[in-house]
Structure 1
Amino acid sequence: MKLAFPHLLVILLAFIFVSWLATFVVPSGNFKRGEDQLSGREVVLPGSFETQEKIHLGIDEMFIAIPEGIILGSEILVLILLIGGAFYVVEKTGALQVGVEALITKFRGNTFLLLIFLSLAFSFAGATIAMQEEIIAMTPILLLLSKKLQYDIKSIVGLTLGSSLLGAAFSPINPFNGLLGQKLAQLDVAEGLLYRMVFFGIALAIWTFLMIRKGRSNVKVQEELSFEPSSIGWRNGLILLLSMGGIIVMGWGITQYDWGYNEMSALFFVIGISCGLIGKLGINGTARTYSAGFGELILPGVIVGLARSVYLVLEKGQIIDSIIYALFSPLENLPSQIAVAGLFVSQCLIHIPVPSTSGQNVLTIPLAVPLMDLLGISRQLAVLATQYASNLMDMLSPTNAGMMAIIAAVGVQYNDWIKFIFKTWLVLIGISLISLFIALIWFA
């Protein structure tokens, strides 16, 4: 009998359990922290690692970390429910169906161009605002596009979420990773701009081509979808305008006014209610539809919280700094090429217990910079290695709440997602390593 692959909940609960076991094996320790004068952030002081008395977490503390993690992720949970509920309302008005059909008709005979546009748009969103969790609410659109275009839903996720993460990984202007890393490494934010843009273009072109090709080849049943698109009409047009305008306003608010999850949630709550009333669902009908949308998105929301629980267990056991110290220390006596490759691999591994890209920068850049100085390598390598590793690992790591929630929302098993994306992901890893090796000479 063929065993079923574990459910997403089972996978994350297993990670929580393994993290708890690790607190008994890995020595507890901490780096000292201080304020970085340039960025104003708290950073790790190189050479300050000290072991401390072992902290043993009780099994009760492991279980308590589960609700605590969900509470810590409550802002994202609310964001998923309110934005997702809003798009669910839009879908039930019929406007989404009409809009997607109109879009496909516009590009009829040139689906390839539509998918390229999709990848470009999301890569730009990733490069500028590191879009990830926001895509969770767009899953009804992704599912509809997959059906109408006869493309594997995994490919559509790859061209949206994957392109966004790629954009963040290779972006010269990602404020949550690249620019933050430049500041922490005390580098000019404009340094390496052209270099990054060249590899951004190369990586995006290869990724988009492979995702489009894989999406078509993985569709087993090819059915002809012939339809005459309905007239959009003023009601549907207004609903679509409000929905798409909300995404634009959200990006504007994030970049110009430093909006957080609560501001985004409030914006789409208003949009969702408005769209329901415009779509003639009525007050009660809109409320019932919104509530049904909540039900569809509870699992992705809980997945976010459980991913936080993994980090919480490691933090309580005070072994995160110990893991980082163990990964970085052996690199000091290696040749520069091997040390850079080792730094990249270490950053990939670190991102599993430290799923925050900005958190990983703050934690590891102050440690990687002295290592680069010791080896006579440009500090830019420390920034590039961290940026590439953390964002590309977000495509695979089960502790990345955004990715896990998105594949759950579109009904894709984690193992199926890994099988689909892994070879193409390795291509991106190869591009990253080539970029790092060339950077050794470029920034010498």
Structure 2
Amino acid sequence: MITLGQKKKKREFPTAFTVLFIILVFAAILTYVVPSGRFSRLTYDDTTNEFVITDQNDETTMVPATQKVLDDFDIQLNISKFKEGVIKKPIAIPGTYTQIEQHPQGLIDVIKSPILGVMDSVDIMIFVLILGGIIGLVNKVGAFDAGIEALSKRTKGKEFMLVVLVFALTTLGGTTFGLAEETIAFYPILMPIFLISGFDAITCIAAIYMGSSIGTMFSTVNPFSVVIASNAAGISFTTGLTYRIVVLILGSIITLAYMYWYAAKVRKDPKASLVYDEEPAIRARFLKDVDTEGTIEFTFRRKLIIIIFSLSFIVLVWGVAFGGWWFEEMSALFLGVSIVIMLISGLSEKDAVNTFVDGAADLIGVVLTIGLARAINIVMDDGMISDTLLYYSINLISGMNGPLFAVAQLGVFSFLGFFIPSSSGLAVLTMPIMAPLADSVGLSREVVINAYNWGQGLMSFITPTGLILVTLEMAETTFDKWLKYIMPLMIIMGVFSVVALVIGTFI
């Protein structure tokens, strides 16, 4: 019985940490239930011009790197793919799956895995911390405040164009060079702009996260998914390119229409926002240093800082797309820009350094989420159940024909994408085995490539072991709110992918 003055405590959805830990425990339980097993792996050693065969017991054998060896192993790839460096990662050898001694992950393994996850993800974590520091500096000097005020005046009455622009740019990045983890850098910058423009946090997340997700799902020339998958399947990535571009455009239009419907509903009635109850906390975090009254002058110093800060993102995109950059180079870029901003900020040395440190501290929760997400993959890898799940999936679709085969492949890759969030890792593991199955049912191998892209991409909308929980932690939003928003769109895109796949079998 509730007495006068008491309020019934509202049940809250668990934080990202708790959700990830529950999944971590579930993954550990799976290592007791799912049999451990492995495929033999083949790797090319360019220093000796030999193939290194690693069996289920981690014993290695060196054999000459010849086409005959590939044919003997039923690996339907040309030897040039290895010698030219197109395929660098170990690939699974068809027909070599063997069940091995069970490797259950116990309590000690579960407790250790987040520590190992942090150690394995330290490059991403450093990037996020430096990003937090530079955001703190730009906020401190009022550059964001003045910039947001100037932008809001220019976009008044055309606010949804901001959503379209951000979505289009992140989609383009996703479909061309696999823009994904790099989007973490966008939330602290764009969230205040979206909030000031009248959108809620969900719309900002969707514009950034779904932009990159739709781009990577419907990849056209992404080297980390469609290109590496096509190479591992033994076909050119240009095969079916025109059709993939058409599907990308249609998928983007569908997603933007859904985002517009939600944004318009919230603009009409703010209480319709899925994060309406959390809005004060979200605004407190992202607008705490922002002058919403628009009284800060856009001085030359602030303009210069905004220009330098914006140029750093252009350099980042260039480095990732064309310079072979990864988190080490991206972190170095932002650290260098941070130092430049400190020098021209007008802040004292002590104030500048403390501001940078405080900004980094604001994102500690985000970096710990990254480590915990990686821990799940570590438990599954150490439990050696990923290959078993692939083996079961192969047996499930064997014997299917035509469109049914294509749709089943989509389901299989969605399932595997939950457990293997790495697009390149999933491609190299599965394609040498999955692609030849298309030959047996009279379909083009590009159908398998599309099923792989669209299936894993569809699952990435909600995969906790991927980027979504890190994104939600960054945006002060819980997983249940995201699920309420994304599930209708996920169903729509699932149906769209099935239809596109079926049509693709007749082209």
**Which band: TM-score by shorter chain?**
over 0.9
Look up the SS of the partner of 1:151 in the other structure.
coil
1:106 aligns with 2:154: yes
Distance 1:60 1:112 in 2: 50
Look up the SS of the partner of 2:199 in the other structure.
coil
1:29 deviation in Å?
0.5
Which deviations, in whole Å up to 9, do the C-alpha atoms of 1:366-412 show, x marking residues without a partner? 22112111111110011111111222322211111x22112111100
Match of 1:429 in 2: 494
1:95/1:232 contact within 8 Å kept? yes
Match of 1:57 in 2: 105
Give 2:506's match in structure 1, choosing from 413, 419, 441: 441
Which deviations, in whole Å up to 9, do the C-alpha atoms of 1:262-314 show, x marking residues without a partner? 11001101112322332222221121111111211111111111111111111
1:14 aligns with 2:22: yes
Match of 1:197 in 2: 245
Match of 1:117 in 2: 165
Match of 2:474 in 1: 409
Which deviations, in whole Å up to 9, do the C-alpha atoms of 1:107-164 show, x marking residues without a partner? 2221122321121111112122322222223222232122211111111110111111
How high is the TM-score relative to the length of structure 2? 0.83
Amino acid across the alignment from 1:414: F
Look up the SS of the partner of 1:34 in the other structure.
strand
Which deviations, in whole Å up to 9, do the C-alpha atoms of 1:4-51 show, x marking residues without a partner? 211111111111111111111111100111136413332111121111
When residues 229 and 120 of structure 1 are mapped into structure 2, their CA distance, relative to the original with a 3 A threshold, is farther
Amino acid across the alignment from 1:421: I
Match of 1:32 in 2: 40
Distance 1:413 1:226 in 2: 26
Match of 2:286 in 1: none
Q: Which runs of 5+ in 1 are unaligned?
A: none
Match of 1:92 in 2: 140
1:128 aligns with 2:176: yes
Between 1:424-433 and 1:321-330, the stretch displaced more is 424-433
1:159 aligns with 2:224: no
Measured on the aligned residues, the alpha-carbon RMSD in Å equals: 1.9
2:227/2:237 contact within 8 Å kept? yes
2:143/2:305 contact within 8 Å kept? yes
Match of 2:368 in 1: 302
Match of 1:213 in 2: 261
Q: Which runs of 5+ in 2 are unaligned?
A: 1-8, 44-76, 272-278, 280-290
Distance 2:230 2:137 in 1: 42
Look up the SS of the partner of 2:42 in the other structure.
strand
Distance 2:33 2:384 in 1: 12
Share of identical aligned residues, percent? 26
Which deviations, in whole Å up to 9, do the C-alpha atoms of 1:199-227 show, x marking residues without a partner? 1111111211211221232354499x996
Look up the SS of the partner of 2:362 in the other structure.
helix
Amino acid across the alignment from 1:8: A
Match of 1:354 in 2: 420
Distance 2:309 2:425 in 1: 32
Match of 1:381 in 2: 447
Match of 1:245 in 2: 311
Match of 2:345 in 1: 279
2:127/2:327 contact within 8 Å kept? yes
Look up the SS of the partner of 2:419 in the other structure.
coil
Distance 1:290 1:212 in 2: 36
1:2 deviation in Å?
4.7
Distance 2:104 2:438 in 1: 35
Look up the SS of the partner of 2:223 in the other structure.
coil
1:84/1:136 contact within 8 Å kept? no
When residues 291 and 371 of structure 1 are mapped into structure 2, their CA distance, relative to the original with a 3 A threshold, is same
Distance 2:472 2:505 in 1: 37
1:106 deviation in Å?
1.5
Distance 2:138 2:39 in 1: 49
Distance 2:416 2:354 in 1: 43
When residues 434 and 340 of structure 1 are mapped into structure 2, their CA distance, relative to the original with a 3 A threshold, is same
When residues 279 and 216 of structure 1 are mapped into structure 2, their CA distance, relative to the original with a 3 A threshold, is farther
Between 1:343-352 and 1:114-123, the stretch displaced more is 114-123
Distance 2:94 2:332 in 1: 42
1:231 deviation in Å?
4.7
Match of 1:142 in 2: 190
Match of 1:367 in 2: 433
1:56 deviation in Å?
2.7
Distance 2:394 2:142 in 1: 54
1:122/1:160 contact within 8 Å kept? yes
Look up the SS of the partner of 1:376 in the other structure.
coil
1:92 deviation in Å?
2.2
Larger helix share, 1 or 2: 1
Give 2:324's match in structure 1, choosing from 251, 258, 264: 258
Distance 1:145 1:106 in 2: 12
Runs of 4+ in 1 over 4 A off after TM superposition: 225-231
Amino acid across the alignment from 1:16: L
2:87/2:228 contact within 8 Å kept? no
Match of 2:54 in 1: none
1:312 aligns with 2:378: yes
1:155/1:212 contact within 8 Å kept? no
1:348/1:393 contact within 8 Å kept? yes
Distance 2:294 2:104 in 1: 65
Alignment of 1:170-181 (within 5 A): 170-181=218-229
1:151/1:216 contact within 8 Å kept? no
Between 1:277-286 and 1:42-51, the stretch displaced more is 277-286
